[in-house]
């Protein structure tokens, strides 16, 4: 299972090859909703499916464009363009609702950066 990613930062308009050993999909990076850790692999959720790829979230985080993808916590990287709602959890944390309905908590450690990224 592997994903073919260039050695430079990707653009949201780039297409990436997702390969899980049986299935092979060419997906626009902008269509990826979020990545979820799965041991040393990552589950990649996109508009019409999910594939497990042989890349860690740390690796993906280093290749994804910062203006679109945000490391929410240790388990998730989210595509900010697929966030349909945000709710405050107390005074220092957030929960985002993705376009597919999935709710993901922004860690307390990442909440200030999330606020700085999205709030004018």
For 7-32, how does the pLDDT look when each residue is reduced to its tens digit (9 = 90+)? 578 888 888 888 777 778 888 999 99
Measure the CA–CA gap between 72 and 79, rounded to whole angstroms. Answer: 10
How long is the chain? 120
Is 21:39 a contact under the CB 8 Å cutoff?
no
109 CB contacts (<8 Å, ≥6 apart)?
none
- Provide the 3-class DSSP secondary structure of residue 56: coil
pLDDT at residue 83 tops 70 = yes
Q: Domain tally for the chain?
A: 1
Q: What is the CATH number of the domain that holds 95?
A: 2.40.50.1020
Q: Which domain holds residue 76?
A: 2-118
For 90-104, how does the pLDDT look when each residue is reduced to its tens digit (9 = 90+)? 877 899 999 999 999
Residue-averaged pLDDT of the chain: 87
For 27-65, how does the pLDDT look when each residue is reduced to its tens digit (9 = 90+)? 899 999 999 999 899 999 998 889 999 899 999 999 999
């Amino acid at each position: 299972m592997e994903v073919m990613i260039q050695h430079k930062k990707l653009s949201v308009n780039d297409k990436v090859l997702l390969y899980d050993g049986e299935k092979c999909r060419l997906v626009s990076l902008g269509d990826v909703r979020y990545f979820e850790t799965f041991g040393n692999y990552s589950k990649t959720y996109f508009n019409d499916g999910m594939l497990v790829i042989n890349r860690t979230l740390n690796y993906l985080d280093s290749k994804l464009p910062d203006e679109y993808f945000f490391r929410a916590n240790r388990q998730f990287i989210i595509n900010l363009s697929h966030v349909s709602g945000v709710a405050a959890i107390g005074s220092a944390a957030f929960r985002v609702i993705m376009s597919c309905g999935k709710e993901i908590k922004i860690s307390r450690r990442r909440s200030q950066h999330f606020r700085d990224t999205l709030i004018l």
